[in-house]
Homo-oligomer: A and B are copies of this chain.
Amino acid sequence: MQAATAHEEIGAASDPAAALMACPREDRLAAFERLPPPIRETVLDALSEDDLLAFVHDLDPDEARSVLTDADETTRETVLDRLDTERAEKIDRLLSYDADSAGGLMNLDFVTVSADRPIDAITERVRRFESRTGRYPTIFVVEDGDILGALPNGTLAMAAPDDRARAYVEAVPSVRYDREDSDVLAVFRENRDRAVAVLDADGSVLGVIHAGDLLGVVEDVAGETLFEFTGVAEAENALDGPLVKVKSRYTWLIINLGTAFLAAAVVGLFETTIAQIAVLAAYMPVVAGMGGNAGTQAMAVTVRAISLGQVSLATGARVIRNEAVAGAINGAIIGALVAVIATAISSAQFGVLLGAVVGVSMVANLLIAGFFGALIPLVLDRVGQDPATSATIFITTATDVLGFLVFLGLAQTVLL
- The interface-forming segment of A46-54, A75-83, A221-229, A348-356 is A221-229
Contact between chains at B190 and A4 (CB < 8 Å) = yes
Of A87-95, A142-150, A197-205, A324-332, the one contacting chain B is A324-332
Interface of A is mostly: helix
A17-25, A96-104, A293-301 - the one binding chain B: A293-301
Which A241-269 residues have C-beta < 8 A from chain B? 241-243, 245-246, 249-250, 252-254, 256-257, 259-261, 263-265, 267-268
Contact, CB under 8 Å: A36 / B281: no
Q: Does A379 sit at the interface, judged by CB under 8 A?
A: no
Q: A130-B158, A290-B260, A400-B285 are in contact. Are A239 and B318 (CB under 8 A)?
A: yes
Q: Using a Cβ–Cβ cut-off of 8 Å, how many residues does chain A contribute to the interface with B?
A: 127
Residues of B within 8 A of A288 (CB): 285
Ranked 3 nearest A-B pairs via Cβ:
A238-B305, A156-B157, A222-B222
User: What are 28 A-B residue pairs whose CB atoms fall within 8 Å in the complex?
Assistant: A4-B186, A8-B315, A34-B189, A136-B154, A194-B212, A211-B211, A211-B214, A214-B215, A219-B222, A219-B308, A222-B222, A222-B225, A226-B303, A230-B296, A230-B300, A231-B297, A236-B301, A239-B322, A245-B301, A246-B329, A250-B333, A256-B290, A260-B290, A263-B289, A264-B286, A267-B282, A285-B400, A285-B404
